[in-house]
């Protein structure tokens, strides 16, 4: 990715967070009947908890707990391992995913300050530990309920490199009108996109798996990264660049220090 100097707009510095608070609070109040209906139906269809919580990296890699409505059952195979996503997702789950209703509990994350209405989508800890220094700059801002990659056609078909480029460019210059355009494009995409889950995605679902498959990391680095991710989640820590998890990065770092 081309080196750019980060320029913060007045909107990013002063107004973006204000709009996040006001709009997320209003949405939570207005949509509270919908929340109740979804919770009741999900309880009947999926059994168990209606909310799915998972630790994700937030602004500057700080871990937070992200919330969603559950869209899958807890079905497992004879060995106790979860069945593939396409076997666990229900018709109800596909419906709430198609309309992105499953994402609405993240309005609470926005109100708390973990997320923003618009920003790079929050990725997985097990993937982000493998990001290089430039890619991490794309996630130095609050992650969003919707983001530039989703409306830029990168939801299911784009490569990881294309996604990083789109989200890096967004993070470099955040503007009011840019966010407004993303919000309106998101509304349009919600009503014409297909249900999205792991089975639909054309790229490797996990970035860590992609790096291993394309020989950009070794099996040893892969296992070390997954262990580091578990430790970060357990300690509610912060994700930082680790040159030991990418081939050649140690050597490049040494050359730069000379």
Break the chain down into helix, strand, coil percent, rounded to 5: 55, 10, 35
Give the single-character DSSP code of 249: H
> Quick check: helix, strand or coil at residue 76?
strand
Rounded-to-integer distance, Cα 114 and Cα 117, Å: 10
pTM value > 0.85: yes
Q: What's the pLDDT tens digit per position in 164-187?
A: 999 999 999 999 999 999 999 988
- Cβ neighbors of 222 (< 8 A, separation 6 or more) are 208, 211, 212
Please give the helix or strand (H or E) that residue 63 lies within, else none. Answer: strand 63-69
Distance from C-alpha of 12 to C-alpha of 121, rounded to nearest angstrom:
17
Print the SS3 string covering 140-182: CCCCEEECHHHHCCCCCCCCHHHHHHHHHHHHHCCCHHHHHHH
**pLDDT band with cut points at 50, 70 and 90 for residue 258:** very low
Tens digit of each residue's pLDDT (9 = 90 or more) over 4-61: 566 788 999 999 999 999 999 999 999 999 999 999 999 999 888 899 999 999 999 9
């Amino acid at each position: 990715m081309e080196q750019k100097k980060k320029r913060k707009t007045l909107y990013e510095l002063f107004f973006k967070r204000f709009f996040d608070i006001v709009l997320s609070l209003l949405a939570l109040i207005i949509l509270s009947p919908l929340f109740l209906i979804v919770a009741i139906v999900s309880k009947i269809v999926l059994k168990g908890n209606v909310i799915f919580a998972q630790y994700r990296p937030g602004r500057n890699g700080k871990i937070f707990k992200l919330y969603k409505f559950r869209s899958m059952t807890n079905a497992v195979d004879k060995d106790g391992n979860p069945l593939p996503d396409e076997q666990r997702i229900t018709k109800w789950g596909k419906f709430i995913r198609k309309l992105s209703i499953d994402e609405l509990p993240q309005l609470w994350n926005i109100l708390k300050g973990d997320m923003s209405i618009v920003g790079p989508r929050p990725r997985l800890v097990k993937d982000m530990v493998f990001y290089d220094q430039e890619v991490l700059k794309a996630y130095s801002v609050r992650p969003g309920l919707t983001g530039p990659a989703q409306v830029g056609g990168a939801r299911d078909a784009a490569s990881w490199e294309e996604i990083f480029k789109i989200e890096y460019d967004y993070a470099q210059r955040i503007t009011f009108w840019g966010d407004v355009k993303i919000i309106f494009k998101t509304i349009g995409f919600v009503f014409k996109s297909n249900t999205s889950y792991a089975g639909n995605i054309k790229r490797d679902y996990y970035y860590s798996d992609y790096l291993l498959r394309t020989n950009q990391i070794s099996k040893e680095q892969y296992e070390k990264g997954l262990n580091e991710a578990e430790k970060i989640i357990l300690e509610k820590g912060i994700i930082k660049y680790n040159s030991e998890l990418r081939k050649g990065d140690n050597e490049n770092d040494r050359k730069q220090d000379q």
